[in-house]
Structure 1
């Protein structure tokens, strides 16, 4: 990063009353001309993560004085983009016009309709018919519309086209056996569902597979069968934690992470045309894929290859925009295999019941599941620390690092910040001399939104903080530590998705509100392999959440685009 550009941006920020420390982020977003661009349009600051609208307004007033107002077209343009980006953080790839207008009014924009119209005219925002082109005959006034930023619109269009490319380019293999199936389609399989998946993948370029934790063995069996037949087959998990569990079934050379696969750090590498050099790819934890991640992945799979997307439909959706796995299931454009392999033991029984909307007491003779009722946040924190530091390790013979706390959010009296402060004081007290961290602290590193790397602090040096993560040592640059590293004895449900530990302590706060959903409970309760403790402070709200809708709805277009392509043949 150009030091002069950062210094120039810092001067402009300070002149407008904003913290100069934001300069690095501003230059990363706006480029080396950041200082000049901010002077011309101060509301560009709203494109930097973490900057609130009122802070952007204050910065604009600091630079422009009375020359700006709430209806300034530069402000309107920035607010339209900001509202749609904020919606993307909640998973939406588009919004109905009424929702977008209401959000803009909430920021005191005088004429939201005119602002959105200008954004559409400029190409900043795209307009779509909610049900696809088939509804045009009903008359424009009767057709629901959606508004979205071009980046998400293009991702959903490209992803849908990529799915159909795989379906249409697939021709099977020369030397197929009787019935048009390759010989490996009849390979021995550990379960009937695994056999069904192997057969489906042998005959289609795109397959979706759904099931719980035990069902992960089925795509592993598919990859093993394909590799035994000489195919270049790989299995990808979303997290390193998941990859390690997968490697135990398919071998180290066949198991990769999605990030490692796309970056070239693992897997087969690239062919001459830039596509992945493989014949079959099974992607586990597919619900964790945002629409942009899924698009990049599918565009990398070569023509004629087989892609299997596998995941648990009851689990939390991606941290990024979209609901790719759910939309693909809903569109019914390719073979689907539903696992009939149940998750074992009391934890598996409990999680399965939650998935069906029921919170049921289960028999746990060996204390596999323990519920700890608490009356208030202070007791919840106290009991959580007690469980992690003493009760669970002593009862189950697991080390503290093998016990993971999961809660609903970062803030509040029982959020990750409060729990981690209490856990650090008990488990690894210290002055936090390295930006709030000490050697031995458990942390999570989030290099990009939605990507969580658990690790342990090993030290620091002038260039940054040194961590030992599951995939190896990591040096976090000094300027990125505050924004990308948190203590990690306690994490959120989204951060824990795709990972498992020998024991999990799930904290259900009484003030969780809308964060407490069936999919959150399902995901959090399933993080423990041998033991689950539930620190229950929500009383009947937990039962109501499990019985309620699986998750907050997301407005997306992928299913409609897939249906349009199906109708076009």
Structure 2
């Protein structure tokens, strides 16, 4: 906003249509908010100048940990000499599903200024997530049921309690409607993975024959237009052109021959799929068979997706505090950090 007031061609980019919508509301200027993919393909934003560079002076990318090395390279190559790039994000969240760790490498190389301005989310959820970020799983006071722990004995009970929370308990007790509740679980497979949970949630929330490639109007959907990028939406209809989705107010048509490979039901997502997204209420499912795969970034990301309410369907016993305190997450090996360090050294030379 300040840059635009100075007459600069400034834009802010998110990774999803929902992120773009939130940016537009924050900026008070829908024209200034774009998605990274829309900016690069030319369907959003200022377009390109005569030399093929993006016609802008300043670009701020939010949720920058989700920027993989391929998208990051294309983005940087698309900027004209003299333009400015700001990468903004929480280094504690899960990184991109695609290759590389652009944001982490830029931070580690200290190749550019790094002002720290993170303000924790308010309330019990913010207090809980902030503690997780430094390796502490604290019990927090939640007088308004902002945080609820639901113990379960096995995966079957985890699925049952999750459906109960989404369909009844959270809407009734917290006042968050079903469309604003998201389920997050560690993986797609298993007795309480996204496939099992989505099957159970569809049966309860939107039963139907699945006549459009397994989908019915009203189904929650998770669309993957390209590897590593998930866009939540709702099924509207289907016709000869393909499956019609509403993705945060943006109409999307998935061609019939791509539906099976690129669209899943979306009541339940993995934390990687949910990393750049937020919802009023989130139900995190931790079945017993997930205990060995938990780590601090996963828990930090999953628990931090809820704005007003977090329910944890808890079947991993002491594996949860152990993962928060002792398992910092797998390290990725890339060359970007090494390549950036010479530039950082040159910048520091008197």
Which bracket does the TM-score occupy, shorter chain normalised? over 0.9
How large is the Cα RMSD of the aligned pairs?
1.3
Alignment of 1:361 onto 2:139: yes
User: Match of 1:438, SS?
Assistant: coil
Q: State the Cα distance separating 1:229 from its structure 2 match.
A: 1.2
Question: What is the CA–CA distance in structure 2 between the aligned matches of 1:254 and 1:403, rounded to whole Å?
Answer: 28
Q: State the Cα distance separating 1:477 from its structure 2 match.
A: 1.3
The correspondence for 2:2, drawn from 207, 212, 225, is: 225
1:144-163 map, 5 Å: none
Contact 1:246 1:255 in 2 (8 A): yes
Alignment of 1:259 onto 2:37: yes
Question: What is the CA–CA distance in structure 2 between the aligned matches of 1:550 and 1:235, rounded to whole Å?
Answer: 30
In structure 2, the residue matched to 1:330 is: 108
Q: Which has the higher contact order (CA 8 A, sep 6+)?
A: 2
TM-score in terms of structure 1 length: 0.60
In structure 2, the residue matched to 1:208 is: none
In structure 1, the residue matched to 2:128 is: 350
Which structure dedicates a bigger proportion of its chain to strand? 2
Contact 2:14 2:62 in 1 (8 A): yes
User: Match of 2:333, SS?
Assistant: coil
Q: Which structure: larger Rg?
A: 1
- Write out per-residue CA displacement over residues 181-228 of structure 1, whole angstroms, 9 at most, x where no aligned residue: xxxxxxxxxxxxxxxxxxxxxxxxxxxxxxxxxxxxxxxxxxx11111
User: Match of 2:288, SS?
Assistant: coil
The correspondence for 2:183, drawn from 396, 402, 405, is: 405
- Write out per-residue CA displacement over residues 32-62 of structure 1, whole angstroms, 9 at most, x where no aligned residue: xxxxxxxxxxxxxxxxxxxxxxxxxxxxxxx
Q: State the Cα distance separating 1:567 from its structure 2 match.
A: 4.9
User: Match of 1:411, SS?
Assistant: coil
Alignment of 1:472 onto 2:242: no
The correspondence for 1:451, drawn from 229, 239, 242, is: 229
The correspondence for 2:18, drawn from 230, 241, 247, is: 241
The correspondence for 1:463, drawn from 209, 230, 241, is: 241
Aligned structure 1 segments of 4 or more residues deviating by more than 6 angstroms = none
User: Match of 2:285, SS?
Assistant: strand
Structure 1's unaligned 5+ residue stretches are: 1-223
Alignment of 1:563 onto 2:341: yes
Q: State the Cα distance separating 1:548 from its structure 2 match.
A: 2.2
Question: What is the CA–CA distance in structure 1 between the aligned matches of 2:91 and 2:290, rounded to whole Å?
Answer: 23
Structure 2's unaligned 5+ residue stretches are: none
TM-score in terms of structure 2 length: 0.96
Q: State the Cα distance separating 1:462 from its structure 2 match.
A: 2.8
- Write out per-residue CA displacement over residues 3-57 of structure 1, whole angstroms, 9 at most, x where no aligned residue: xxxxxxxxxxxxxxxxxxxxxxxxxxxxxxxxxxxxxxxxxxxxxxxxxxxxxxx
Number of aligned residue pairs: 346
In structure 1, the residue matched to 2:99 is: 321
Question: What is the CA–CA distance in structure 2 between the aligned matches of 1:522 and 1:565, rounded to whole Å?
Answer: 32
User: Match of 1:383, SS?
Assistant: helix
Q: State the Cα distance separating 1:464 from its structure 2 match.
A: 2.0
Which structure dedicates a bigger proportion of its chain to helix? 1
